A and B are shown apart, each in its own frame.
Chain A
Amino acid sequence: MRPFEYTRASDVAEAGRLTGRFIAGGTNLLDLMKLEVETPAKLVDITRLPLRDIEATDDGGLRIGALVSNSDLAADSRIRNDYEVLSRAVLAGASGQLRNKATTGGNLLQRTRCGYFYETSQPCNKRDPGSGCGAIGGFNRIHAILGVSEHCIATHPSDMAVAMRALDAKVETQKADGSTRILALDDFYRLPGDTPDVENALEAGELITGVRLPKPVSGSHRYRKVRDRASYAFALISVAAVVRMDGGTIADARLALGGMAPMPWRDTAVEKALIGQEPSMATFEKAADILLADAKGQGENDFKIPLARRTLKAVLADATKGA
């Protein structure tokens, strides 16, 4: 690991002015610093900032502080009762030890698990812009099938963010100059295009202060994660769904997918194709056709296209049954 200077931020307003890399749970950043994939000259420890609460908002939703641990988030009774999909998604990720340390802000910003990104002797446009992409034409079993570019095909590995995307969560930030803004997740994350090193809208010194959830969405909440082992493994494909039935038809459907793309993936055309329909395999097939119309395999990850289709159909069948 490269040497670095260490400072502790003591108030939120000051944090961004300390001009260093924020460290929260450290479970992703330190992993990458040990490999010298990340080489910050200065770390700003934000763990003492008062961002550990989950509070009610005026519009009937919740505000999750950036430092709320993944464990505390998943165990919170309001999240378990009103946003079950989020609790389920968080519990499907990492291990008990890691979730105790991992924070809400850090989880959103965790970096890809692409093997070339992790291996500094290999080309990688995300780690070293302009060096090429080792995964295209290389080992790419875990890589993306949607939203990629000729410069990068990496996935975003978070489970939590997938559920948040389905729930229309918004990220609350504070810039170094003290001004604040609120960004929907689809404006927060960036597709790779020709700058795969830029993964989100954050500016230098901009601190995530929290995540806002709108008021609870009723319906069946599901999170289905398909992975190589039953626990403690990243998603090959995951589906977060909140589906509400009215009589025999689908009244509302919110769907986001993980393991598929450089950011948690949501396609409202898929949801539109479901709303107002009676649940049937034919309807679910049509939804999957829309979702996967532009999907493209890279060789080793071709299996993700039929896997995404089957997982989506299974989740929809489960979420609409007996309603």
Chain B
Amino acid sequence: MKLTINEVEHDLDIDTRTSLLDVCRDHLGLTGSKKGCDHGQCGACTMLVNGRRINSCLTLAVMHEGDVITTIEGLGNPDDLHPMQEAFLHHDGFQCGYCTPGQIVSAVGMLSEVADGWPSHVSADVKNGTSLSGDEIRERMSGNICRCSAYPNIVDAIETASAKMKETA
């Protein structure tokens, strides 16, 4: 089967049981995405599939032929950081760093959901969109658990990156 990850097409011969996360980590050397729980409970494995964030541990690689997959490695690299990566560094949005790739990819996916006008559980008015507040960020990012509880700085980083991405958009 073929998988397109970070704009590179890979030819793979894998067991049908292999999750998208395991393909990246164990077969393609893309170890940026982390495995926290392997059951959809922590968000450390978050990737973008066709621009939307998902838990890569709870999906089979074979189901993603033809999809556009982006991992943390595809967002930016040390010489050319994505604004979200930059903001996490600037705000110290981590301690141990294990949840960080998932937080960053999730935050990028989350901002495009907001840009598309999606409401959230804390939106006072689901009918007419909302703007990005601290409460909105916390709710929308609840699928990413940080065991070091770096949450305040994560929220700051997302606010900064969001403003920067709007400027440059």
Q: What is A's interface to B at a CB cutoff of 8 Å?
A: 1, 3-6, 23, 25-27, 30-31, 34, 43, 45, 47, 71, 74-75, 80-81, 84, 87-88, 91-92, 94-98, 100-101, 230-232
Please indicate which of the listed interface residues A3, A27, A45 has the most CB atoms of chain B within 10 Å of its own CB.
Answer: A27
Other contacts beyond A3-B17, A26-B59: 4, CB < 8 A = A3-B16, A30-B58, A94-B143, A95-B143
Residue of B nearest to A99 (CB): B143
A71 to B110, CA, bound (A): 12
B165 at the interface (CB under 8 A from A): no
B35 to chain A, nearest CB (A): 12
Is B63 touching A101 in the complex (CB atoms < 8 A)? no
A100 to B105, CA, bound (A): 14
Is A98 touching B55 in the complex (CB atoms < 8 A)? yes
A196 to chain B, nearest CB (A): 23
Q: Of A25, A45, A97, A231, which contacts B53 at CB under 8 A? A: A97
Contacts of A3 in B (CB 8 A): 15-17
Contacts of A1 in B (CB 8 A): 17
Contacts of B121 in A (CB 8 A): 88, 91-92, 231
| Given the contacts A26-B59, A97-B46, A91 and B39 also touching, CB distance less than 8 Å | no
| Given the contacts A3-B15, A96-B113, A100-B52, A80 and B58 also touching, CB distance less than 8 Å | no
Q: A-B pairs with CB below 8 Å: how many? A: 105
A88 to B143, CA, bound (A): 17
Is A31 touching B117 in the complex (CB atoms < 8 A)? no
| Given the contacts A97-B143, A98-B143, A6 and B106 also touching, CB distance less than 8 Å | no
- 10 residue pairs bridging A and B, Cβ less than 8 Å apart: A6-B16, A25-B59, A27-B55, A27-B59, A30-B59, A45-B63, A80-B127, A91-B126, A92-B121, A96-B140
A294 to B16, CA, bound (A): 47
Q: What is B's interface to A at a CB cutoff of 8 Å?
A: 15-17, 19, 38-40, 43, 46, 52-55, 58-60, 62-63, 106, 109-110, 113, 116-121, 123, 126-127, 138-144
Is A71 touching B118 in the complex (CB atoms < 8 A)? yes
Q: Of B16, B39, B109, B110, which contacts A34 at CB under 8 A? A: B39
A230 to B141, CA, bound (A): 12
A85 to B106, CA, bound (A): 26
Is A26 touching B113 in the complex (CB atoms < 8 A)? no
Is B126 touching A80 in the complex (CB atoms < 8 A)? yes
| Given the contacts A80-B119, A87-B119, A100-B53, A26 and B60 also touching, CB distance less than 8 Å | yes
A227 to B43, CA, bound (A): 20
Is A74 touching B119 in the complex (CB atoms < 8 A)? yes
Please indicate which of the listed interface residues A43, A91, A92, A94 has the most CB atoms of chain B within 10 Å of its own CB.
Answer: A91
Contacts of B118 in A (CB 8 A): 71, 74-75
Contacts of B60 in A (CB 8 A): 6, 23, 26, 30, 43
Instruction: Sort A-B residue pairs by CB-CB distance and give the 3 closest, nearest first.
Output: A95-B143, A231-B142, A232-B142
A92 to B15, CA, bound (A): 35
Is A26 touching B63 in the complex (CB atoms < 8 A)? yes
Residue of B nearest to A118 (CB): B39
Please indicate which of the listed interface residues A1, A30, A74, A98 has the most CB atoms of chain B within 10 Å of its own CB.
Answer: A30
| Given the contacts A6-B60, A101-B58, A96 and B143 also touching, CB distance less than 8 Å | yes
